[in-house]
Amino acid sequence: MTTPDLTGQVALVTGGSRGIGRQLALAMARHGATVVVTARNLDSSPGSGHTLRGTAETIEAAGGTAHAIPATITDSADASRLVDETVERAGRVDILVNNAGVYPEALIADMSDEDWHDNMDVNMNAVFYVTRAALPVLVRQGGGRIYNVSSDLAIRFAVGRVAYSASKAALDVFSQALALEVRDQHVEVVSWTPGHVLTDMSWPRAKESVETVEPSFLWMLAQPPMALTGLILRKNDFGITWGEGV
């Protein structure tokens, strides 16, 4: 598989303290990117015990460059502050990975207003806030890449996951429509489904290690700029329908 050379590029990853976001941050750093990771808290995180500071320190211990910037991206002002601080610290933004997410489980008849709004705030509204803040930076630089982390549950449904499915289906459409809107500014937008891998959100149902998300993600980064824009790419297809190149 062709692997990317990300030397000189800056990647901003939301939900970078643990799970898929942490894995993608580590992978891009290994391939030369300066990585900025964000989550709500610098030194605490529920679940596996990984933290935002820990992700950055792991990258730097391996010889990479990383910045940890706590932010509440469900707040539009703080999302804008995150992008501004990323540019201040790292100089630019080339790759935005909208990864932060929640995975509520409840029947719609039983779901509270708070849980519904939290689902949409994190899985969709935060993507809008961070993307809106980052787009002027990407356009000013002459282009860039946006990867929105979606899910098979956008098209494959499960009892108790209506809210989650709705948010991820919305994310897919958002990605496709945005790709058309910013194509002429050379901003690539892809909705990427990493598959059901073992993280705090998916435990104990998932069986695959979180490391298995890397090949398909790195393959996307290795493609020519704009080659994949507007596509919804699913990890289950990797090496079958699109993993051999475009």
Task: At 7, list the tokens.
Answer: 């030397």
Residues 6+ away with beta carbon under 8 Å from 16: 22, 25, 35, 37, 38, 39, 52, 55, 68, 99
Contact of 191 with 232, CB cutoff 8 Å: yes
Query: Per-residue pLDDT tens for 38-93?
Result: 999 988 676 666 899 999 999 999 999 999 999 999 999 999 999 999 999 999 99
Structural domains in the chain plus CATH codes: 10-237 (3.40.50.720)
Say what the pLDDT of residue 224 is. Answer: 94
Cα–Cα distance, 71 to 52 (Å, whole number): 11
Collect the ranges in the chain with pLDDT lower than 70: 1, 44, 46-49, 197-207, 238-246
Query: Per-residue pLDDT tens for 155-167?
Result: 988 899 999 999 9
Say what the pLDDT of residue 238 is. Answer: 65
Say what the pLDDT of residue 246 is. Answer: 39
Say what the pLDDT of residue 5 is. Answer: 97
Contact of 150 with 99, CB cutoff 8 Å: no
Question: What order of strands is seen across the sheet that includes strand 95-98?
Answer: 65-68, 34-38, 10-14, 95-98, 144-149, 187-193, 232-234
Angle at 216 between CA 28 and CA 45, to 5 degrees: 55
Q: Is 164 a catalytic residue?
A: yes
Say what the pLDDT of residue 198 is. Answer: 58
Say what the pLDDT of residue 170 is. Answer: 98
The backbone torsions φ and ψ at residue 57, rounded to the nearest 5 degrees and listed phi first, read -65, -35
* Active-site residue identified among 103, 129, 147, 164: 164
Angle at 99 between CA 219 and CA 198, to 5 degrees: 80
Burial group, residue 240, by CB count within 10 angstroms (0-12, 13-18, 19+): exposed
Beta strand pairing status for 95-98 and 232-234? unpaired
